[in-house]
């Protein structure tokens, strides 16, 4: 057994045989990792320790901190603020989606992952303020050298799965540089699933860099009197068709949440 699998085996020993840990990724025909933090027990559960610390573009998961920055700088008042459609956009990244190319509320833009809307907000924030807020939040590597407005999709601004979770923990604990009011808005907007048993807050992300697809699903699950923070990042070559790539971000994460009895 190699070192990476030894780490996995030790983490998941109570929940699943080591040979099952690669299965969700293999079934989806992707590479990647899932990182989970058990809030009550202060326990990290990882499928790949090295990958959990490796940075890459956060893609639309950046909307989590981006929303907070837009709120804190006063560019938007709340989640109901309307972002005006500029009339033109580059649709080459995700293809043409006519349902999002219109005046749209911040809440809708977050839920539908309307990238153009957050680019419009980013133009108003400016790199200097981003640099300050990101550094003070300990989010990402601070490299904002990318010239394009959506530096979170391309260029050298990177964040690791573990860093994503560390930031989410600070959000959950209301221990950030952002106001409690703005944190409350974010938490409300992030709700993607609510049942009698649990509440799930999350954000997906997908970008295409250097011939690869990079997919994210990050968030936290409030369930069974506990909170489970998670970050799954998967990758594949763009030249290899995989229609299930987007959904696999979630199915892989849910599988490991089930393995630790969080779901």
Which residues are known catalytic residues? 60
User: What is the CA 15 to chain-centroid distance, rounded?
Assistant: 25
Helix 115-125 × helix 127-136 angle, to 10°: 100
Residues, the chain: 263
Other Cβ atoms closer than 10 A to 82: 13
Cα gap 229→231, rounded to integer Å: 7
DSSP state of 59: G
Q: Which of 196, 205, 253, 192 is closest to 228 using CA atoms?
A: 253
User: What is the CA 85 to chain-centroid distance, rounded?
Assistant: 25
Q: H/E element holding 226?
A: strand 226-237
Cα gap 76→67, rounded to integer Å: 9
Confirm if 84 and 58 have CB atoms less than 8 A apart: no
DSSP assignment string, 204-220: EEEEEETTEEEEEEEEE
């Amino acid at each position: 057994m190699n070192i990476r699998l030894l780490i996995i085996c030790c983490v998941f020993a109570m929940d699943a045989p080591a040979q099952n840990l690669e299965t969700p990724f293999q079934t989806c025909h992707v590479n990647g990792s899932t990182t989970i933090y058990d809030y009550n027990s202060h326990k990290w559960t990882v499928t790949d320790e090295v990958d959990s610390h490796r940075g890459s573009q956060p893609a639309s998961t950046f909307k989590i901190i981006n929303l907070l920055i837009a709120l804190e700088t006063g560019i938007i008042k709340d989640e109901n603020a309307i972002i005006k459609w500029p009339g033109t956009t580059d649709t080459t990244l995700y293809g043409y989606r006519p349902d999002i190319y219109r005046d749209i509320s911040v809440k809708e833009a977050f839920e539908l992952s309307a990238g153009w809307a957050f680019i419009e907000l980013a133009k108003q924030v400016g790199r200097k303020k981003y640099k300050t807020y990101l550094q003070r939040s300990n989010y990402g590597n601070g490299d904002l050298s990318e010239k394009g407005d959506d530096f979170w999709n391309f260029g050298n601004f990177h964040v690791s799965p573990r860093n994503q979770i560390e930031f989410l923990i600070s959000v959950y604990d209301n221990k950030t540089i952002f106001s409690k009011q703005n944190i409350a808005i974010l938490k409300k907007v992030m709700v993607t699933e609510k049942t009698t048993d649990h509440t799930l807050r999350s954000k997906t992300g997908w970008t295409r860099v250097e011939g690869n697809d990079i997919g994210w699903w990050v968030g936290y699950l409030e369930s069974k009197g506990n909170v489970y923070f998670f970050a799954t990042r998967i990758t594949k070559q763009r030249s290899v068709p995989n229609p299930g790539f987007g959904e696999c971000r979630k199915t892989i994460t849910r599988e490991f949440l089930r393995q630790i009895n969080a779901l």
